[in-house]
Every structure is written in structure tokens, then in C-alpha cells.
Amino acid sequence: MTPSFALLHPSRHWLGGLFILLLLLAGLAQAKDYGDIQQQRIHHVLGQTDAISEPEGPYKVRTLSAAGKIVGYVFQSLDVVDIPAYSGKPINVQVVLDPTGVILDAYVLEHHEPILLIGIAEEKLHAFSARYSGIKVSQRVVVGHSSDPNAVTVDAIAGATVTAMVVNEVIMRAAHDVALALGLVKGDAGLAVAPARVREDRFEPADWATLTGNGAVRRLHLTRGQVDASFKGTEAEQVEVASAAEADDTFIDLYVTHLNPPTIGRNLLGEGPYRTLMSELKPGEQAIAVLGSGRYSFKGSGYVRGGIFDRVVLRQFGNTISFRDLDFQRLDDVAADDMPAFDEMAIFIIRASHRFDPGAPWSLELLVRRQTGPVSGTFSSFELAYQLPEAYLERPLPSAEQLAAAQEASRPMWLTLWYQKSVEISLLGVALLVLTVILFFQDALARRPTLLHWVRRGYLVFTVVFLGGFALAQLSVVNVLTFVHALFEGFRWELFLTDPLIFILWVFTAASILLWGRGVFCGWLCPFGAMQELINELARRFKVPQYELPFAVHERLWALKYIILLVLFGVSLESMASAERLAEIEPFKTAVTLRFDRQWWFVAYAVGLLVINLFTRKVYCRYLCPLGAALAMPTRLRLFDWLKRRKECGNPCQLCAKECEIQAIHPDGRINANECHYCLDCQMTWHNENKCPPLINKRKKRGKAAVADPQLIPVVQVSPAP
């Protein structure tokens, strides 16, 4: 293990120098700039204005004036609310309000929604936000159709329902908070009476009939005829229409209840499950149970890990609470004997950040969708009102304990996510510790090639199954671009801490680059890379012929991935959204994150790379991967050379160069750390006295010398038998 500072030769750093130059260019655009579109939208709704003030207050609101009179206010939603959308990143909307609290304009300035980056026209998103013009901030807005005659309904974006629901929540919550701060509308906050609390000391035995009779459990029963009637006058009026004989059939029989009160939770769940649930809830969090039967599922099958349940939302005080997969718990069994059988049961957690008041009325809204085209559909909503009975509540005056609990409940969202993923974090920590031990003791393992082969195969299986299949922890070049831009655009740790597994992997990868180079991640921790390697190894066992390019051609193809990286970075300086689209050259989203559940051309591309990999190992990693290129650049700064070589390596011995399955060893015997995937095959050969030609020659010379000089032959003395 020798220091490798000699690698810092200026002639080898043209790529690094160019990358640094691009970093400097990125620094010239530190401020967030959306071009002239912000001014254009203001003039579009108000005409020419005499003056636009500087941003004022915590929400950075600008006042718009004409002829000395205030004609409106403009702000960006990201300065008011930070609601993650389907992509996990917030959507930024510019909203213009008039002095009476009516929305004049809502225009999406920035989003990172994958569903809108891969085929659905962005004009549909702008057309959707334009429908909020003329809506008062205090009104209730529903995506789709609603059974509430007082609700304002807006049609969803065909094929992007979840995104539409998030945009609705962003616009209405941000507009309401700003209007409240400016005094344009009166709010429900500021009352002298503190929010009610659930009485945790009150428990009475109660059966299902008692709980439904006193209003602790509420019901919404819909027939097929009622649902058909809600779609009259829409494009879906003739879709899935029930016959006269089927009109009274149950479409869904839905029940909802609040589980925190012991009389409800303990009687329905049982003593043990109830205590477990309550122990998992953090201060300020509430749990509700949703139970359903019938032909319609309130959960649906369209949501994915990290996504949002798009069929049920909770509303209180005009605020919309959407549930993500992290807020969901499966309910498999109940304790109430007289409770009817349900097709599906679920527990949803209302997080403290929503400031939910358990003593105030709220409603569960059920969204029903009907398909009207390949990707288009029409929606209708039905409301199930709920009010917790007063017997389960206490309404004390504010106390120091309450204030302390509220402060604790307002802790950062990223910290909550780390608590929720504690098991996955622990497993990943153990796995990275094991990998560190393997790397530090690589010489001892390399002397036992059979053991090392099985250790490596087992680790690759873990990478594919756990990191890729379960945790979806696939690093991407988009992470690199996001990090670089964050350095110049107001760096926030919260942006990276919200995904703990990705953050931990990046920290470990950065440390491993300094010690061993890029090969640790590419060869051990990349799910798509591990998938390729296991598939290729299986192909070799079935005698699938293998092909390699001449080294001169192979060496020149290395440059492709660096060119792709620089193009992506250059495009990101102009438009991060465009760079994310071009980053689809990575098959990671298709093969790992979405598990091949995408449009056929994405699947064909990813599968095509895997098919090529049957005949030539890791073609994508060697020639096309921009993430590998990004990791290779700082690899030149690694502190040590852990991979051993001999003076005979390359001249005359070419064994390791020929056996290296990704051709990372030059004909002169040098290992290219920028291309090495750290499989340790060459180290197993280096230690093998029966395989490494220099070692074989040395062993033969020792044998000949021993024969030529009998004194070198050890004499074995045999004691006479007694």
C-alpha cells in the first residue's frame, strides 16, 4: 500500500480542469432566475403596473400598485409552503392575489415531476393552474367532481392525478397563508381557546354497535347508481354504467374512525396493538382507521414507494392532508367481535406538521376516477364528515407542556424520516461496515479465492435485492448535478437529508473514493451494476460466448461517458429540468426505481443494455455511465494504491490484463483506477503461486536451486524405534 501522489500529473487533469471551469461558470448564476415569465404573468392579469415593491415579510410578498393604488400582491409558493410532490421535490408556483383575497393568476415556475418529464406536455400543467383564476382563497377546491355543492371543482391532469392534487394543495395553502398574513381574509387561528386534546385516561368497553351508534365510527355507503349520477354531464357519463338491476349494488361501504381515544382504539384494535400504535406516534400525531368493502378500493393499486395515496384525502379548516406511503400502516386484524368483515383495512397517520385539531370537524374525501381515454380520466369526489364525540375530548387552556409538545412536533421533516427508516438505516450501516472490513482485509481474502468469490457474489445479491429492490437506493448523476447546483444556490442539508439511505451511500462513496477510488461504489454498491455482473456471470456459466473490443478502441470509448457528463452539466446550467430529461441515459430509474414499469421505449433501452451485457460485461458502466465519470474525476485524488503490482506485470506478463473482465488494466500492466471496479480478481491472481507467472517462475527457480545444492535440502532425522 503506497501513496499515489505521483498520479497528480498536470497532463492527466484536462478533464478535471474543464470540470472545475464549469463549476466556476455555475457560480455566475447563483440567484434563482425564471427569466421574464414572472413579469409577463403579472402584466397578463393586471396590465401595466406603476410599481412593484421589494419582497416584504416572511413570505417575501411583493405589492403591485397602479395610479398610487394597491391592485394586487405576488409571491412564490416555495417561500410559503414546502410540500413535496410525487418526485419528492416541491413545486414552485407564482401566485397573484387581488386585495380581496381572490386568486388572479397561478403559474408553475418550476417542478421536477417525472410523469411530466417523460411524455405528458407541460402545457397541460399550465392549463391546470390557470383554472384557479377567480377562486377565493377561503373556498374549498376539489380536484375532479364533488358531491359538495359548495366546493369548487377543477379537472385533473390526464395521467398525472397525484401531481394535480399536489399543485392544488400548494396553490390553496400558500394563497390562504399569505392572505391571512396580509389581513385579506379572517382565519380560524388566533382563538383564545386552545385546540382540544384526546382524553387518554377515559376507557369504557364498547362493541361495534356502540361505536357506530354514538358517532365514534362514521359510515359512507355508495351504490353504483349514486356514483353513476355523480358523473352525469361529464365525458365519463356512459363509462361503466350500472344496469337498472345493479343500480342498488354496493359500490363501496366505507367507515372511518379516530383511533387515539382509548375507548375507540383499544376496543377495535385490542390492548397490545393499540399500545404499540400509540407508542409509535410522535407528539401531535393522530391515527385514523379507514375500512372498506365493495367493488372499489380506497387504497387503489397505482401508488408506488415514495408516492401519494390519490383516492383519499383529509380536509380540515380548508387544509388538505394527503397521505404518503410513510403515513400508511396495514391493518390485518381487529378485536371487535361484532365488527363486519371488510375487504381492506388501513391505518393512516396524520403528522404533527399538519396542525390537525382532533376536536374540530374534519372530513375524509373519496376520489372516484373513471377512464375516458388511454391516459385521461374524469373524477368525482364524495365526502365523509367526521366529528369526534365530546366524551372523548378535553379542551384545556394552553399550558407550558402544550407549548413544549408543539415545539417538539415542529422538528424538521428530515429528522422524522430518519426515525421512520431506522431499520433500513441499521441494515445499510451493517452492510457498509462489512464492506469496509472486506476492503481493509482484501489481501487475506485474495489468498482464498473461493471464499472471496462467494463473499462477492453474496454482496452483489444483497445490493440488487436490498439496495435496489427494497430500499430503491440507487445513486444517480442527477444527485451529482443537484449537489453542485446547491453549492451555488443556497446550500441546505435538508435537501439531501430527506432521503437517509441515499445520503449515507453518498457519504460512504465519497470516503471510499479517497481511499480506494470509484471502483468501490461501481463494483459493490450500484444495484444496476450488480445486476449486470450477476447476469453476465450466469451467462458465462451457460457458455454464452464473450466478446471484447481491441484495447485501442476500448480505451477511446472510455471518453464517451465523460462527454455525456459534461453535456449534462452544461445543459443543467441552463435548465435543470432538461438535464434531468437527458439523464434518462441512465437506465437506473427504469430498471431499479420503477422496476421496468414504464413506457416500452424506456424498458427496451434498459433490457437492451442487459442483453448486450450477456456477451460483454458491463458495457454501459464502461462507456456510457455519466455517474461513473463523475466519480472517476475525484478518484485521481485518492490517497493510496491498495492494488498490488509486480515489475513483471505488463512486461512480459499479460495474464491479469487478459483476465480483467472490464479491461481496466493497460497492456503495460498499469491498473486504471478511473475504470477499475475493484472486483479484486487481479489480486487473487497476484497471490496465487500456481497461477501468477512471476510466482510460478520463482517457485521453479527455488526448486532447481534446491536440487543443484543438496545442502539446501532439509535433513529429516528419524529417531530409532524403541
The residue-averaged pLDDT of 445-463 equals 93
Query: 465 vs 317, which has greater pLDDT?
Result: 465
> What is the structure's pLDDT at 28?
37
Amino acid at 370: R
Query: 364 vs 485, which has greater pLDDT?
Result: 364
> What is the structure's pLDDT at 454?
94
> How do 2-3 and 141-143 pair as beta strands?
unpaired
> What is the structure's pLDDT at 146?
60
- Nearest C-alpha neighbor of 144 from the set 152, 132, 156, 133: 156
pLDDT tens digits, one per residue of 29-64: 333 556 678 888 888 888 777 788 888 888 999 999
> What is the structure's pLDDT at 8?
38
182 touches 73 (CB < 8 A):
yes
> What is the structure's pLDDT at 576?
77
Q: In this structure, what C-alpha cell is assigned to residue 671?
A: 491498473
Percent of the chain with pLDDT over 90: 37
> What is the structure's pLDDT at 302?
57
| pLDDT tier for residue 277 given thresholds of 50, 70 and 90 | very high
Is a pLDDT exceeding 60 seen at residue 12? no
What is the secondary structure of 119-162 as a DSSP string? TS-HHHHHHHHHTTTT-BTTS-EEESEES-TTSEEEPPPTT-HH
pLDDT tens digits, one per residue of 78-94: 999 887 765 557 889 99
Q: How far apart are CA 313 and CA 144, in angstroms?
A: 13
> What is the structure's pLDDT at 499?
76
Q: In this structure, what C-alpha cell is assigned to residue 709?
A: 545444492
Percent of the chain with pLDDT over 70: 82
Q: How far apart are CA 665 and CA 717, in angstroms?
A: 49
From 11-20, 31-40, 658-667, the region with the lowest mean pLDDT: 11-20
Query: 303 vs 427, which has greater pLDDT?
Result: 427
Is a pLDDT exceeding 80 seen at residue 527? yes
> What is the structure's pLDDT at 453?
92
Q: How far apart are CA 508 and CA 430, in angstroms?
A: 12
77 touches 174 (CB < 8 A):
yes
Amino acid at 145: H
Is a pLDDT exceeding 90 seen at residue 25? no
Query: 561 vs 116, which has greater pLDDT?
Result: 561
> What is the structure's pLDDT at 68?
77
The residue-averaged pLDDT of 591-607 equals 86
276 touches 259 (CB < 8 A):
no
> What is the structure's pLDDT at 14?
47
Residue in the structure block whose three cell numbers are 489481501: 443
| pLDDT tier for residue 509 given thresholds of 50, 70 and 90 | very high
Q: What is the pTM for the complete model shown?
A: 0.51
3-class SS of residue 257: strand
Q: How far apart are CA 227 and CA 217, in angstroms?
A: 23
545 touches 77 (CB < 8 A):
no
| pLDDT tier for residue 75 given thresholds of 50, 70 and 90 | very high
From 279-288, 296-305, 387-396, 508-517, the region with the lowest mean pLDDT: 296-305
> What is the structure's pLDDT at 30?
37
Determine phi and psi for 367, rounding to 5 degrees: -105, 125
Number of other residues whose CB lies within 10 A of the CB of residue 608: 12
> What is the structure's pLDDT at 562?
93
- Calculate the dihedral angle through the C-alpha atoms of 386, 392, 396, 401, rounding to the nearest 10 degrees: -100
DSSP element (H, E) containing 378:
strand 377-386
The residue-averaged pLDDT of 91-110 equals 91
Query: 345 has which bridge partners?
Result: 291
pLDDT tens digits, one per residue of 320-363: 888 988 899 989 888 888 899 999 999 999 999 888 889 888 99
- Calculate the dihedral angle through the C-alpha atoms of 66, 72, 74, 77, rounding to the nearest 10 degrees: 180
pLDDT tens digits, one per residue of 424-441: 999 999 999 999 999 999
> What is the structure's pLDDT at 458?
94
> What is the structure's pLDDT at 5?
36
| Average pLDDT value for the chain | 82
From 434-448, 643-657, 691-705, the region with the lowest mean pLDDT: 691-705
pLDDT tens digits, one per residue of 232-249: 888 888 888 888 899 999
> What is the structure's pLDDT at 651?
87
Amino acid at 251: F
| pLDDT tier for residue 609 given thresholds of 50, 70 and 90 | very high
